[in-house]
Chains A and B, each alone.
Chain A
Amino acid sequence: MSGREIGAGVISAEPVLRLEGVGKCFRLYHDVNYSLKERIINWRKRGYELFWALKDVDLTVYRGETLSVIGPNGSGKSTLLRLMTGILKPNRGKIVTHGTIAALLELGAGFHPDLTGRENIYLNASILGLKRKQVDQIIDEIIDFSELGPFIDNQVKNYSSGMYVRLGFSIAINVNPDILLIDEVLAVGDASFQTKCIDRILRMQREGKTIVLVTHNADIAASISDRILWLERGEVKMLGDPREVSEAYLKAMRTRPEGSEFGTREIVIEEVEVLDGAGYPALKFSTGDAITIKMRFRAERKVEDPVFGFGIYDQMGLMVYGTNTRLLQVDIPWVEGPGTVEFQLPKLTLLDGRYYLSVAAHTRDGQVNYHWLDKLYFFDVQSPGRESGYLAMDCRVALRSGE
């Protein structure tokens, strides 16, 4: 689905949410002094630094539009959303809202483990501002959407995390606010539930709801939104057409990704590329494809016995796979000047998802890191959907009747 034009169809030019010169400043405490004694002892010492999470943001959200907010970690996306809900108050500027707002910042926040799913629906919906009568009308739809069915009268503490999240999402999405704010929640749940959620968002779009969606995933943002806001270090970097912004964003992320890097820099990894089977840079792979991780490095002076390696991580930061030249028993006596290392994987056995890539150069014992680029790169994998989890394991079924 491509972006819709503002003013066309259900989208009006009527602003429902307006931010004027909004700035939000946090105090970053060196060591949080919570007790009175510590406060008194550190009376004169200013134990914090000011950090502007958002600087001078002007934004108008129009009725019926879907706006996605993208940006690297720490760019102020979540702060923006929290300001919109009223959880945080801006230090500068003002925010004007028209209509009710419901926010999906965290699913199931406020669930009480000892209450049943049904009781939690009433409690959670009233936290989101609904009256009991209104809940009575939508409770069947909530239960239906959550796919919890017979478990709805069980205590929530007995739910699996998936059930928990599904219930939270079902409540929030069925509350039917004028403005719905969604923070990264599409990343949760299994693929089929995700599809269902996106379907639901599309339906809300058709119903003319205003949606603000915060996401890492520029592709999702481009496919479902009317406009994209790209935040960078608390400032509006770009705002407008979803395709243009997402392409610019992805390009920027490829060349200068966010994340952390460290090391003594005796060897510097200057460029990392993820290549497909034909040797071209790629971001999307299918399970079974060939993939090559290529790094271009430079050593200012001669470095003896270095080790190059890489690690693949899932979205939660769990290492899915990793290896290095030492483990692969490739001895590199020394390097000097420029060079490249390629790790070639003829068959990618990962399943669906976004994976992050860390690359590193370090000493043989791993005690000294020359250069470590931590999860600065990513690629997406799509699988045919025959399996779930992380790995494609080539499973066969043998079924025999009789004993």
Chain B
Amino acid sequence: MKSFLAYRELLYNLTLKEVKVRYKNSFLGFLWSMVNPLMLLVVYYVAFGVIFRLRTEGMTRYEFYLLAGILPWNFLSLSVIQAVGSVVNNADLVKKVYFPREVLPLSYLCSSGFHFLLQEMVLLLFLLIFRVRITPWILAFPLLLLLQACFAAGLSLTLSAVNVFFRDVQHFTEIFLLAWFWMTPVVYPISFIFDSLPSWAAKIYLLNPMAHMMLLWQRIVYNSPVNGPKAAYLSPLGLVYTVALSLFLLAFGYWVFCRLEGKFAEFI
């Protein structure tokens, strides 16, 4: 941990590198950070808003509802997907130079976080332009960001370390994230789950910590209580569970990573 603090500058530099390099040599450059979620928005909007006519409980601004969930979900999935291969893909460095290896997965978390913040700022701008009411919930933004960062960090550390020994993890993660996405209220409202699933299944559904996190993001960014009680579902127990799980995952991920990192250079 001490050495990690000494290397925080390395984390900063690696993050900076990621941010600089990602859209280098592309014509739109940084705009891609915006174009990407906007494209997703269009796809989901057309599919679910126009074709399936997804409108429930006075969900008047489906486009904002979508963005409120897509952006944080992208933050999670991008950072995890990139982090999983981070140790293996930097084999050169890991074999030749000593530095705390955890900066590798964490740098992807930070660079995705940077893009996420940019996107959220643009989203806020749009909310202001389209006069969507902003509530005091917005003040919880940094806390929620921290919570999701802890969760993503724990996941990234675990997966990237195990991936060195079982490369299956990399492939599995991609499929898993896709399934996970549809098991999380991002494109559809949570009320769909309560309406269509028996209550025991809904309980299982709510074991997904990202579900709680999404509900919070939607509450913060897109003011969902105006859309009825079910859409504004927030369970205190679920929140406690999510916080506890995130912290546990972070501690667990760090522990796993530290246990395995001594063998990285041999196995890569």
Contact = CB atoms under 8 A, between A and B. Distances in A.
Interface string B1-43: 0000011011011100100110011000000000000000000
A86 interface: yes
Nearest to B91: A109
A105 interface: yes
B168 A36 contact: yes
B9 A115 contact: no
Contacts of A129: 6-7, 10, 99
Nearest to B166: A36
Contacts of B25: 114
A28 to B, nearest CB: 11
Contacts, number: 81
A115 B97 contact: no
B57 interface: no
B20 A87 contact: no
A85 interface: yes
B262 A127 contact: no
Interface stretch (A118-126, A201-209, A368-376): A118-126
A115 B17 contact: yes
A105 B20 CA distance: 27
A82 B24 contact: no
Interface in A108-136: 109-110, 112, 114-115, 119, 122-123, 126-132
A54 interface: no
The bracket for how many chain B residues form the interface is 20 to 34
A192 interface: no
Contact of A87 (B17, B21, B95): B95
Interface residues of A, number: 32
B232 interface: no
A26 interface: yes
B111 to A, nearest CB: 13
Contact of B13 (A88, A105, A114, A123): A123
B96 interface: yes
A115 B20 contact: yes
B165 to A, nearest CB: 8
Interface in A150-179: none
A212 interface: no
Interface in A71-127: 82, 85-89, 101, 103, 105-106, 109-110, 112, 114-115, 119, 122-123, 126-127
Interface in A296-324: none
Given A103-B97, A106-B92, A123 B14 contact: yes
B186 to A, nearest CB: 30
B93 interface: yes
Contacts of A110: 90, 92-93, 96-97
Given A109-B93, A115-B17, A119-B20, A85 B98 contact: yes
Interface in B238-268: 262-263, 265-266
Contacts of B61: none
Contacts of B24: 114
B261 to A, nearest CB: 9
Contact of A123 (B17, B92, B96): B17
Nearest to B7: A129
A284 interface: no
B72 to A, nearest CB: 28
Contacts of A128: 97, 99
A130 B12 CA distance: 12
A35 interface: yes
Chain B contact residues, majority secondary structure: helix
B180 to A, nearest CB: 20
B99 A35 contact: no
Interface in A22-56: 26-27, 34-37, 39
Given A39-B166, A109-B96, A114-B25, A26 B266 contact: yes
Contacts of B99: 127-129
A87 B166 CA distance: 20
A87 B92 contact: no
B9 A131 contact: yes
Q: Of B7, B17, B21, B24, which is in contact with the most chain A CB atoms at under 10 Å from its CB?
A: B17
A122 B166 contact: no
A129 B6 CA distance: 8
Q: Of B6, B10, B94, B262, which is in contact with the most chain A CB atoms at under 10 Å from its CB?
A: B10
Contacts of A115: 17, 20-21
Contacts of A39: 166
Contacts of B6: 129
A127 B97 contact: yes
B13 A126 contact: yes
Contacts of B55: none
Nearest to B25: A114
A35 B10 contact: no
23 contacts: A34-B166, A35-B168, A36-B166, A37-B168, A39-B166, A85-B97, A87-B96, A88-B265, A103-B96, A103-B98, A109-B97, A110-B92, A110-B93, A110-B96, A119-B17, A119-B20, A122-B13, A123-B13, A123-B17, A126-B9, A129-B10, A129-B99, A132-B9
Interface of A: 26-27, 34-37, 39, 82, 85-89, 101, 103, 105-106, 109-110, 112, 114-115, 119, 122-123, 126-132
Given A35-B168, A106-B92, A127-B97, 15 more contacts: A34-B167, A85-B97, A86-B98, A103-B97, A106-B96, A112-B21, A115-B17, A119-B20, A123-B13, A123-B17, A126-B12, A127-B10, A127-B93, A127-B99, A129-B10
